[in-house]
Structure 1
Amino acid sequence: MTAQNARPDARFTAVRLGRVSRQVVEQFQRQLREGNLRPGDRLPPEREMAAQFGVGRNSVREALRELDLLGLVESRHGEGTFVSAPSPEALMTPFRAVIELSSTAAGTVMEFRRAFEPGVAALAATNLTDAGRDRLHAALTDFETRVTQGVTEVERADADFHLMTGHATENAAVIGVHTALYTLLRDVRSRVTSARYGPSDSAVAGHRLIYEAILARDPEAAAREMRAHLDDVSETLADFC
């Protein structure tokens, strides 16, 4: 993508009293939502932005650091600061340190999964396309084959099945959040080194039940099977944490 300066419509206004850097960040996010700033745009120099916001350059720098942490901007040496498209990995960055330091990380993530993923499965059943079905079937087959044969990367195949469930929703917002969740989940899984998979485990069998409910285009059954599956997974993780 060819870099270009921020569009004329991306106009910043003076901020009020309070934590000015936070107000700078909020204005930036609003300009993104309204389409006045887009990935690849070059931001004005710090001095110019400070004048537009009516704040000191230190406040602008603090805001840019926060935006960089959120994956919304990137600095290029000798070129300036550019708007970037946030990736799932960048979305999870602010939470990773908290998760890694938490003694209840696995339980916290599983609580979120139980609140979020049944709805994902239900939407997948509602919006299922032929392409979504084929991707989900391929992921299920890969997972079951790896479990049965006891080969490597079973956890990766497990995660891929859930990721394809998200993709089957055909909803860009759901796919983005779901992918970000599994980026974080990889970090948690790496701490549960003793977890094992077995063909007779109900948690393993849960994947097929979820698949069959989605394939039947039954949202209620898909949500129910996903919820039961995550309950099984939570019990397994509790045994190894």
Structure 2
Amino acid sequence: MRRSRERLAQQLIDQMRAQIESGKLKEGDQLPTEPQLEATFGVSRTVVREAIADLRSAGYVRPIQGKGVFVSNPSAQKAFSLTPVEIKSIPETLELLEFRMAAEGEAAAIAAYRRTAEQEAAIRAANRKMAQMIEDGAPTVEADYEFHMAIAAATNNRFYVDVLRHFGPRAIPRGQFPTLPEAHDRAYLDKVHAEHIEILEAIADQEPERARQAMRAHLLASQRRYRMLAEQQ
């Protein structure tokens, strides 16, 4: 189910990008409402929201509170100018996310049936810490990393912990791209936190496949964002 949702979100992203890049949707145009997009593309509201979030992160659209979502100039996304070091980091980031999808997807599934009460509490604590960092406007990379490390520990398999510890906080992509607006964007960080909650709830409910797919969806969403970023450079 989640994999189908991921495919639909990517299809919607591709179609909307094509409309923006071809000029069919011009800078300043207001996007249809969520219900209208659902009806037009035959997808769920969740798929629409995921696609809009990714397009927003890549600079294709921008929300205006109380008014709606509007088309941005895709080339304007380059205005923030990634540093040469950041640009060189993109291919490695995509490779790391691909690896993490395999390793951490399985780790989440294992944690769902092996985690102890104490380990579940540690995952929850890391999740609360990140929520507080977002609320305070403080850096969230360390708290994000702690959340993923707590899941690795809940597998009770030291190799998952060793692998994630090897990468350290650089496993969290936005920590490598401080120039990106989304690194400090409240709406984006709230979306990341919501994805963490889905993973946490699946582990707490001891549903391995649900946990695996929630983790995979979380990392795939990140991969989509950085792939679009690579295409803009």
Structure 2 length-normalised TM = 0.54
2: distance between equivalents of 1:230 and 1:101? Answer: 20
Residue of structure 1 in register with 2:179 after alignment: 193
2: distance between equivalents of 1:227 and 1:123? Answer: 14
More helix by share: 2
Whether the 8 Å CA contact 2:89–2:176 is kept in 1: the answer is: no
Say which of 107, 125, 132 aligns to 1:138: 125
Query: Per-residue deviation at 1:188?
Result: 7.5
Deviations, residues 40-72 of structure 1 (Å, cap 9, x unaligned) = xxxxxxxxxxxxxxxxxxxxxxxxxxxxxxxxx
Amino acid at match of 1:116: A
CA gap 1:101/1:168 in 2 versus in 1, 3 angstroms: same
CA gap 1:101/1:202 in 2 versus in 1, 3 angstroms: closer
Query: Per-residue deviation at 1:137?
Result: 0.6
Amino acid at match of 2:140: V
CA gap 1:236/1:204 in 2 versus in 1, 3 angstroms: farther
Matched, 1:111 2:87: no
Deviations, residues 49-102 of structure 1 (Å, cap 9, x unaligned) = xxxxxxxxxxxxxxxxxxxxxxxxxxxxxxxxxxxxxxxxxxxxxxxxxx9966
1: distance between equivalents of 2:212 and 2:172? Answer: 23
Residue of structure 2 in register with 1:203 after alignment: 192
Q: How many residues align?
A: 142
Q: SS at the partner of 1:153? A: coil
**1:36-51 map, 5 Å:** none
In terms of mean alpha carbon deviation, does 180-189 or 106-115 score higher?
Answer: 180-189
Amino acid at match of 1:185: A
Query: Per-residue deviation at 1:184?
Result: 4.6
CA gap 1:204/1:193 in 2 versus in 1, 3 angstroms: farther
Larger RCO, structure (CA 8 Å, separation 6 or more): 2
**1:115-126 map, 5 Å:** 115-126=102-113
Matched, 1:168 2:157: no
2: distance between equivalents of 1:118 and 1:192? Answer: 26
1: distance between equivalents of 2:173 and 2:208? Answer: 30
After TM superposition, which residue ranges in structure 1, 4 or more long, deviate above 6 angstroms? none
Whether the 8 Å CA contact 1:121–1:166 is kept in 2: the answer is: yes
Residue of structure 2 in register with 1:179 after alignment: 165
Residue of structure 1 in register with 2:68 after alignment: none
- Structure 2 unmatched ranges of 5 or more: 1-85
- Determine which structure has more spread, i.e. the larger CA radius of gyration: 1
Q: SS at the partner of 2:186? A: coil
Structure 1 length-normalised TM = 0.52
Residue of structure 2 in register with 1:227 after alignment: 216
Task: Work out the percentage of aligned pairs sharing the same amino acid.
Answer: 26
Query: Per-residue deviation at 1:199?
Result: 4.6
Deviations, residues 184-235 of structure 1 (Å, cap 9, x unaligned) = 5268832353133435753331000000000001111100100111111223
- Structure 1 unmatched ranges of 5 or more: 1-98
Amino acid at match of 2:158: A
Q: SS at the partner of 1:104? A: helix
Deviations, residues 121-166 of structure 1 (Å, cap 9, x unaligned) = 001111110110111010000111222x242121211111111111
Residue of structure 1 in register with 2:23 after alignment: none
Whether the 8 Å CA contact 1:125–1:217 is kept in 2: the answer is: yes
Whether the 8 Å CA contact 1:121–1:222 is kept in 2: the answer is: yes
Whether the 8 Å CA contact 1:192–1:240 is kept in 2: the answer is: no
CA gap 1:122/1:186 in 2 versus in 1, 3 angstroms: closer
Residue of structure 1 in register with 2:144 after alignment: 158
Q: SS at the partner of 1:170? A: coil
**1:58-73 map, 5 Å:** none
